[in-house]
Amino acid sequence: MDRVNKKQDNKNTTKKTNKRVNPKINKKNKKNKKYSKNDTLIKLGLLITVIVFVVIIFKILHKEKLQDERISITNNTLYQYFMGEKSEYTGKIELFKEDDDTKLVADDDITVYPDTVPIYYKDILGKAMFAKEMELVTVDEGMYKLSDYTEINTVNNDIFAKRFNKKEQKALINSFIYDGSDLYFFLDNTTVRIGETEYELSPLSYAIVNYRTNVELYNYEKDEYTIIDDEESLLPDVMAINHSGNYKINMSVDSISTEKSQYLLISTISNLNEVEY
């Protein structure tokens, strides 16, 4: 009986001994875990470094882009109209982006946030500029995006578009400019029909059609601003008729009709391909 118990004790002892872990192996595992932890920290550090580097590069490029989009005009007087009121900007004039918006700063502490209303050069005949992206509509050809700070220049009765301070320019033939909403900028002599009354506008004039509310007309040649708000006159669709190009613009519904076709204008300018200057 004692022998049996002794034998069982030996078995139990052997079993316990087999479960024991080699201290050297345990030490090695701890060392591997330490290395693994260090590797993780190194990789994390490298990842953070890369992220910081990318953020810095992005900020530098963004700053350079904003500087490229900052323009300065001197020795010229600019002007534009807001609801019939004329505003002039003199001295050093700067246009730049601020918080995804365009800001104009001039002498005499003048600060404005231009929209799509054209800005004219007072002392240079036949020259204007757009602070915002606009849509160039070339009749029966297509619609394209004009980048912000696009200048409109008249040379020997021909009209061209070009980026500010750039040499490349594009001739604007059988075209007009649209802001994707309510403003139409005409590049030819144009007749605007409101009710039973017709208004003759020269090249570089524009119309703003606030549907069934009022129509604003600026005649560039006469430097004359007219606001029509007669309800009865505004009941029919407001039309712009270009006789030389044989097309009509329905400015109430933003559509164009020619001898070949009739189609709606695209209102989302960002979806358009940029014009090749």
Q: Which two tokens stand for residue 226?
A: 């007219």
pLDDT digits (tens, 9 = 90+) for 191-224: 999 999 999 999 999 999 999 999 999 999 999 9
In a domain, 89, yes or no: yes
State whether 78 and 120 are in the same domain: yes
Per-residue confidence (pLDDT) for residue 167, from 0 to 100: 87
State whether 184 and 239 are in the same domain: yes
In a domain, 58, yes or no: no
* Cα(92)–Cα(70) distance, integer angstroms: 13
State whether 121 and 38 are in the same domain: no
State whether 120 and 27 are in the same domain: no
In a domain, 80, yes or no: yes
In a domain, 43, yes or no: yes
- Residues ≥6 apart with Cβ < 8 Å to 33: none
Per-residue confidence (pLDDT) for residue 277, from 0 to 100: 83
State whether 104 and 237 are in the same domain: yes
Q: Which two tokens stand for residue 254?
A: 């933003």
State whether 104 and 142 are in the same domain: yes
* Cα(251)–Cα(239) distance, integer angstroms: 6
pLDDT (mean) for 241-248: 93
The rounded percent of the chain whose pLDDT value lies above 90 is 66
The rounded percent of the chain whose pLDDT value lies above 70 is 82
State whether 43 and 128 are in the same domain: no
State whether 45 and 165 are in the same domain: no
In a domain, 170, yes or no: yes
State whether 36 and 77 are in the same domain: no
State whether 101 and 203 are in the same domain: yes
Residue 69 has pLDDT above 50, yes or no: yes
The residue range of the domain holding 34 is 21-50
Residue 20 has pLDDT above 70, yes or no: no
**0.85 exceeded by the pTM?**
no
Per-residue confidence (pLDDT) for residue 193, from 0 to 100: 98
Per-residue confidence (pLDDT) for residue 66, from 0 to 100: 46
Q: Give the mean pLDDT of the chain.
A: 86
End-to-end CA distance of the chain: 109
pLDDT digits (tens, 9 = 90+) for 87-103: 999 999 999 988 878 99
How many domains does the chain contain in total? 2
State whether 148 and 254 are in the same domain: yes
State whether 38 and 146 are in the same domain: no
**SS3 state at 67:** helix
Per-residue confidence (pLDDT) for residue 42, from 0 to 100: 77
The DSSP annotation for 178-214 comes to: E-SSSEEEESS-EEEEETTEEEEE-TT-EEEEETTTE
In a domain, 206, yes or no: yes
- Among the residue ranges 5-19, 78-92, 226-240, the one predicted with the least confidence is 5-19
In a domain, 2, yes or no: no
Using an 8 Å Cβ cutoff, are 134 and 150 in contact?
yes
